[in-house]
Structure 1
Amino acid sequence: MWLAVLVVVITSVAAFDVTVTNLWNGGFQAKFTITPNHALHGWRAHLLCDLALDSIEIWRANVVEKRDGGKEFVLVNTPYDPDVSNSGNLVIEFAGHMSGGSSPNCIVTVDGVNSTVPHTTQHAPAPTHDTGPSNGVVAHMKYDYAKALGLSILFYDAQRSGRLPANNPIPWRGDSAVNDGDNGHDLSGGWYDAGDHVKFNLPMAMSTHILLWGFMKFQDAYKHAGQTSMMCDMIKWPLDYFLKCWIPESETYYVQVGDGGPDHGFWGRPENMNMWRPAFKVTAGNGGSDVAGDTASAFAAGYIVFNTICGDASYANRLLQAGKSIYEFAKNHQKIYSQSVPQAAGFYGSSGFRDELSLAAAWLYKATNDGRYLNEARQFHDGGVPWSLSWDDKRIAGTLLLYEITQDGSYKNDVMGFVRSYKPGGGITYTPCGLAYRDQWGANRYAANAAFIAVMAAADGIETNDFVTWTMSQINYILGDNKYHISYEIGFGSNYPVHPHHRGSSCPTSTNWCNAGDPGPNPNLLKGALVGGPDNQDNYDDRRGDYVKNEVACDYNAAFQGALAGLLHFAVNNALPAAPGSRC
């Protein structure tokens, strides 16, 4: 039930409603939308509440002053997101902290925006999990891709290792593994890989550059969803970690922290770990061209994103210099990393490194326009139609990026061949309800990865309507067009998995004791996580112990998020075809 309270009339500035979306003892989450009557280039606002707040954590804005004992907070735009167009909207989310379990009544006023309309603060007792379109736009979407995209960002925030920032949006996560390192070298930070607590740089780097690519390509979708600032904040976390891992002076790159065997023997919160966490590295004498190449791609793509979207040129330049040096390391000391670090082989054993070197060179060309990198990207590239896009095989990503750079028809043909191989009649098995079923391990992941390539190709003008429609068939299956009419993305809609194979989510924050076999739902909602998915007959069991169907991982969400952004991009531009019908 919605409660209308705190009616206030403002005559000199606009007042905007604040909606409380979640409430817990000692805090709450809320959001408001700025809709000015003229374009703003930079803005200043005031959050006014009837109860004092101890502090707030806010995204897409900065707090510059706290007044009246915490009843007013003065906010200004972030340097990288200053503009609000005429009749546009800027959605801002924040978390408030205060004693007790009551939430305040708040409004937001914006200096220099006139209004004489009364406004009310609205409260919802809990998120509604609706699947209708967000922001009142693109109503022809069958599912709300903007909401699903925002949830995916939160999944990565839940995977953070290290000392968490003040704006941490995951209330059940705290500092963890802050002493990760090797002989005094700080290796704290980064993302935990999956439902465990090992940090594997190969899938982490792959996830990072795929996320950056989708962000770069479909930045209008992120802006429409109100997620630009959140994405800049989220994607910086692994990049900061990679900068710690790479030591160019000694040609040393740390590629893993934690040992999979002992780690998998511990079922508990990362905040409660006390095991030894060894660090593993590759060097000039024991190389790792695949993982180093993937990290070079992340650095180069990060350079472009932070230079053009996130508004931090100094940080972008650090990333570019790191990308150049680690690429030379990868190229000059060619070896498969899991041969140098056998502790990785049983979890993320690599099959080769030419695909990572080609992709890294292509990204560095895109970042620098230096023809040497393009020549090397071509030399390392192996054509043809690969089995999948995955953490181990990035050939199709390199093919598509080379096509974008060169417009060479041979690359285009391979991209078309890859997408067609996943479409009906292309040779891949389909479940009865319509999921392209490449493998039982992360079935949703492989379908989403192919969908990402399809929608990226569509944005490049390759069989646009056909590829976008097929992308929708896969993403819509994941979001609800399936046998159980559930969302395989946790937190989306009203019906989704509640027993993901994920230690931190499954353990209460109030105690150090945790039982993996507890039949109840995970006490902490792992928002945005994409679970592995069904078998080849669409059967799925929401059971924590089934790590094939119900584990989550960083690489599961990366291309899935990019595919969501791609579909939202077409919707925002009124170019989204009609959704294909559900088979179930």
Structure 2
Amino acid sequence: MIKKTSLLLFAYLIVFTHQLFSQTPYFTSTEYKKALWMTTRFYGGQRSGDNNWLLYNHLPSGVDASLRGKAFIADKDGTYDLSGGWHDCGDHVKFGQTEFYSAYMLLKGYAEFPAGYGDYYAYDYQGYKTSGSWSFEGTGHAPNGIPDILDEVKHATDFFIKCAKDATTFYYQVGQGDPDHKQWVTAVKMQTLSVANGGQTRATYKNPNDASMPSFCGATLALMSRLYRPYDAAYADLCLVHAKYAYDYAKTKTSTVGSPDGSFYAANDNYKDDYSTMCAELFWATNTASYKTEALSFSISTAPGQGADIYGKNYGFDYSNNGDIAIYNQALLGNTYAKDVLNSIVNSFYLNNTRSDGQFNDGNTSWGPLRYNANTAFIVALWQKLYGTSATPNKYIYDNIDYILGKNSSNQSFVVGFGTKSPAHPHHRNVYLSDANTPVNSLAIPAKNQQFGLMVGGTRNAGSFNDNLETYTHTEGGIDYNACLVGVLAYINSVLSPVVTHSTPSLGADQSLCGKTSIVLNSNVNVDNIKTYTWKNGTTIVQAASKTAKTLTVTSAGTYTCILDSLGIWSTQDEIVITSTLPAVNLGATKQLCNPATATLDIGASGTGYTYQWKKNNVVLLGETSKTLVVHKSGTYIGILSATGCPSTSGSVTITSLLPNAGNDTLCSAGIANLSISGSGGPYQWYTAATNGTLLTTGTTYKPAVSAPVTTYYVQDGGSVNVTAVPSNTGFTGPQNAGSIGITFTAAKAFTITQLKVLPYVYSCNGENVFVTFDLFQGTTKLASYTSSSVVCTGTQSGTTFTPYTLNFPTAINIPAAGSYTLTPSAGNQLVWYSGGADYTTMDVSGVIDVTGPTSTYQPNSFPGIYDIKILSGSGCARTPVYAVVNSNYPSCKITTDINTSAQAKGYNIYPNPSNETFRLTSPSTVDITIMNALGQAVESFSNITELNFGQHLKPGMYYVIMSQDGLTIQTMNIIKY
């Protein structure tokens, strides 16, 4: 056995070797374009429902005129419409195995090689209908601004949206093979026949135990949502909705199924590759990371039998063996090993597995062998793109595709209508427009239909091709045969004669001129000297069509549109709103500081030239000029957004607090900070961290030495409790009973109960909810009743098996003070209780609660089903932050006078200064205090103090603090209230 590393090294050598063997294309660029046009438009000849160009204007004898040119328009499941989609081959059944696969491969080709696809016609082929000219060389082309490949696949995705009806309903087949094959007539005629002869109402099939088909359906819709968005965003959104339905359905399945009405199509080889592909496409369509994670969760390997989820096959690539594309998608998602694996598959199974004339040597060699030529060539094209060698198609691609188009010993083309010698008798009912039920070679293809574009199954030995209508192994084709051929022809065209791709301007999110003199709008479409850019403000053209005006500089508000035009063939546009108003400020709803102990307010808007200001209780917070503000005290906060040239906007929010009041300190240089905490609780414990950390001290003040710009300390109310009272176990003895038995307990302090667990007596769950109402008594006095929130019933209580339920109380059970209480269920579900085995000692919380027993007087050792009681006492809040700041540029440092500095040297201090709340004064001896305003008027006075908190009633301004003893002034200091 070759080691994996050796195999990959060998593959790397091969990749460079094969790059040397490029080959001159056999056909002209125009001929390759024609081949792509034909093989793409082929799908319009497979349309079920309306707008089938093969059947255009066809009305068989005896068929009502309302059905002219229409095919199976009444497909439905009851009243649910299932018309549309594609006929599978030369018949009229809609098989999910090939339909979902084919549509995905067609779109994948466009996603990878968009420059290869042209726009010759519209969805309804109106140009051909009007002119009567249906050939590539004719005059009927009338482009509609949408690549033809998207027009064709949209007919399929319209149907796929119906297939993925919702998250639990998935349709995968309409019609049955045997009845469908009994008559050689067109679909227009067959729909009017009996059900036994393929007519309507046809059988429909849904909800298979299958993940493969819904995965390919979901992948196609997700990819279509991405590719079609420039042309119709609403349709793209609709595709994405149903792609997610398909995902939800596929996620519940882990199998694959074949055709339900016989052996027409076997089940897919593996669902995991298709599921991974769907997840990849959903990620690219939504940018939701979980889809990418899921896509990459499947393991990969080069071949089966190596224990991997997804693998390649030397048999080849087709609708039921599609590991290659999933591996390619994983490589695009960033799985570097997937790139190596695909390299090994391409080199080992394809490039080194050819006949003498370069054709692929595997696959089904008797029925449709040429599809494997096309399919593997497409995988090689993707491999080239992955490895950056796509500028020159590999020889393998030309060997296989040119053979199909007629480069062979017989000059035999295997695409109906291409070349001088192409299949004249394809096994296909609609192409002949014959309803005589005579499948004979004398049938001739009408002129309108001669460039059909169907690749027949053919043979790898051109001289043995049997061009006979009834030799269907040679002359029948199908939607899955053409799918990869279209993609590889587009790749060749993207190299030989790339088209001007449909680009759409992307002007980005709306912007504001506030704070700016101008804004440069960028179309984000590169100049190519072909496309033109036209810019408008409203309906006024501000920049005429120009091949170089990729950007536009604007200086005034308005709705600006960039219109991109390519030689008048197609046009796309995008718009952006430029405002001269600032966005509104929304600081959110009222917040309460407790847990967490701080709140971050955010003005939200960012932009060049934006400035920010904050106020608390309508007083400016000096130094707070950031977009965000961390608050740790109650008050009404206002955030103001300003910019030159625009009116300011503002928003406010009210902050309440259950926290104690913190006294912060700001120093002008390193030194001793005077921090304080005050409130109704305590004792207060000071810590170094918000949780855990080191206990520094206990008390209402703390004076640490600080030097860092900001040092944060945390204070905890040592009297608060947040605990759960629990029993020692729940395996209680004695018979199980049900009743209204509660618990008795002694409270050592006031507290509340917000949650507890119970064992409600539940005989069976029938969709009802569980709840309990408890009565709280102190002695014989009923204090209140408390009803829990309802919870959904999830389990019963019987024997020794029980299901606990956690009950929350919207209104907390309030134990008002120390004392003895009972808590007894009075309504709702009764509780289970046990006649013995009670152990209440472990339910006790020292200093808070002592559970003493049940409320039952006749069973003193019984245990009611009440436990895990969540108790809150005190604030129950997180630790309060207290800040020590060292900042020589702080306003207080700038206004502190020599007098203040001298006073501080003597032991007198006032902090914080300035302050927008209160000041704290400390004095080395007892003094009398007088507060004077700037006019020399006394506004406050205090006697015989050494420490003082003051100033909460002062209005903003400068004040003088006069300190005196025995009527004599001994010290003066200045303060600022803001």
TM-score clears 0.5? yes
Query: CA offsets, 1:259-294, max 9 Å, x none?
Result: 1111112211111012325333333xx522111011
Distance 1:488 1:297 in 2: 30
Aligned residue pair count: 422
Distance 2:263 2:206 in 1: 14
Q: 1:381 to 1:281 in 2, by over 3 A?
A: farther
The within-5 A match list for 1:422-437 is 422-423=349-350, 426=352, 428=353, 430=355, 434=359, 436-437=361-362
Distance 1:538 1:437 in 2: 19
Q: Look up the match of 2:567.
A: none
Q: Secondary structure at the match of 1:514?
A: coil
- Following superposition, the deviation at residue 201 of structure 1 comes to 1.6
Residues 26 and 402, structure 2, Cα contact 8 Å, conserved in 1:
no
Q: Secondary structure at the match of 1:161?
A: coil
Q: Look up the match of 2:317.
A: 389
Q: Look up the match of 2:239.
A: 319
- Following superposition, the deviation at residue 239 of structure 1 comes to 0.2
Structure 1 runs not aligned, ≥5 long:
1-137, 575-584
The within-5 A match list for 1:81-480 is 141=28, 144-164=31-51, 168=53, 171=56, 174-223=69-118, 228-248=146-166, 251-273=168-190, 274-276=193-195, 277-283=201-207, 286-308=208-230, 311-338=231-258, 342-343=260-261, 345-384=263-302, 385-386=312-313, 387-406=315-334, 408-423=335-350, 426=352, 428=353, 430=355, 434=359, 436-440=361-365, 441-464=367-390, 468-480=394-406
Query: CA offsets, 1:43-72, max 9 Å, x none?
Result: xxxxxxxxxxxxxxxxxxxxxxxxxxxxxx
Q: Look up the match of 1:557.
A: 482
Residue type matched to 2:77 in 1?
D
Q: 1:267 to 1:400 in 2, by over 3 A?
A: same
TM-score (norm 2): 0.41
Q: Secondary structure at the match of 2:172?
A: strand
Residue type matched to 1:460 in 2?
L
Q: 1:344 to 1:234 in 2, by over 3 A?
A: farther
Q: 1:521 to 1:374 in 2, by over 3 A?
A: same
Q: 1:550 to 1:139 in 2, by over 3 A?
A: closer
Q: Secondary structure at the match of 1:503?
A: coil
Residues 433 and 482, structure 1, Cα contact 8 Å, conserved in 2:
no
Residues 325 and 379, structure 2, Cα contact 8 Å, conserved in 1:
yes
Residues 49 and 85, structure 2, Cα contact 8 Å, conserved in 1:
yes
Residues 432 and 538, structure 1, Cα contact 8 Å, conserved in 2:
no
Distance 2:89 2:359 in 1: 26
Q: Secondary structure at the match of 1:255?
A: strand
Match of 1:498 among 401, 409, 424: 424
Distance 1:382 1:371 in 2: 20
The within-5 A match list for 1:520-535 is 520-523=443-446, 524-525=449-450, 527-535=452-460
Q: 1:433 to 1:453 in 2, by over 3 A?
A: closer
Q: 1:288 to 1:139 in 2, by over 3 A?
A: closer
Q: Look up the match of 1:102.
A: none
Distance 2:95 2:465 in 1: 28
Query: CA offsets, 1:170-215, max 9 Å, x none?
Result: 6466101111111111111110000111001221111101101111
Q: Secondary structure at the match of 1:482?
A: coil
Q: Secondary structure at the match of 2:343?
A: helix
Residues 437 and 536, structure 1, Cα contact 8 Å, conserved in 2:
no
Query: CA offsets, 1:342-393, max 9 Å, x none?
Result: 3264324333311111111111112122221112112235422323221112
Alignment partner of 1:483 is 2:409: yes
Q: Secondary structure at the match of 1:445?
A: helix
Structure 2 runs not aligned, ≥5 long:
1-24, 59-68, 122-142, 196-200, 303-311, 500-978
Query: CA offsets, 1:450-476, max 9 Å, x none?
Result: 111111221233554675332111111
Distance 1:518 1:572 in 2: 38
Q: Secondary structure at the match of 1:358?
A: helix
Superposition RMSD in Å: 2.6
Q: Look up the match of 1:39.
A: none
Residues 245 and 255, structure 1, Cα contact 8 Å, conserved in 2:
yes
Q: 1:556 to 1:139 in 2, by over 3 A?
A: closer
TM-score (norm 1): 0.67
Distance 1:225 1:318 in 2: 26
Q: 1:435 to 1:219 in 2, by over 3 A?
A: same
Distance 1:468 1:334 in 2: 38
Q: Look up the match of 2:442.
A: 519
- Following superposition, the deviation at residue 322 of structure 1 comes to 0.9
Residues 356 and 394, structure 1, Cα contact 8 Å, conserved in 2:
yes
- Following superposition, the deviation at residue 435 of structure 1 comes to 5.1
Distance 1:330 1:194 in 2: 26
Q: Look up the match of 2:132.
A: none
Residue type matched to 1:275 in 2?
S
Q: 1:306 to 1:296 in 2, by over 3 A?
A: same
Q: Look up the match of 2:936.
A: none
Q: Look up the match of 1:43.
A: none
Query: CA offsets, 1:95-134, max 9 Å, x none?
Result: xxxxxxxxxxxxxxxxxxxxxxxxxxxxxxxxxxxxxxxx
Query: CA offsets, 1:409-451, max 9 Å, x none?
Result: 3211222222223445x2x352657454432221111110011
Identity of aligned residues (%): 28
Distance 1:550 1:431 in 2: 24
Q: Secondary structure at the match of 1:380?
A: coil
Point out the structure with the larger helix share: 1
Residues 145 and 567, structure 1, Cα contact 8 Å, conserved in 2:
yes
Q: Look up the match of 2:527.
A: none
Distance 2:348 2:432 in 1: 38
Residue type matched to 2:430 in 1?
G
Residue type matched to 1:401 in 2?
N
Distance 2:255 2:421 in 1: 46
Q: Look up the match of 1:11.
A: none
Q: 1:192 to 1:476 in 2, by over 3 A?
A: same
Distance 1:467 1:436 in 2: 20
Residue type matched to 2:386 in 1?
D
Residues 501 and 551, structure 1, Cα contact 8 Å, conserved in 2:
yes
Q: Secondary structure at the match of 2:205?
A: strand
Distance 2:346 2:388 in 1: 10
Q: Secondary structure at the match of 1:347?
A: coil
Distance 1:225 1:567 in 2: 18
Q: 1:172 to 1:452 in 2, by over 3 A?
A: farther
Residues 499 and 521, structure 1, Cα contact 8 Å, conserved in 2:
yes
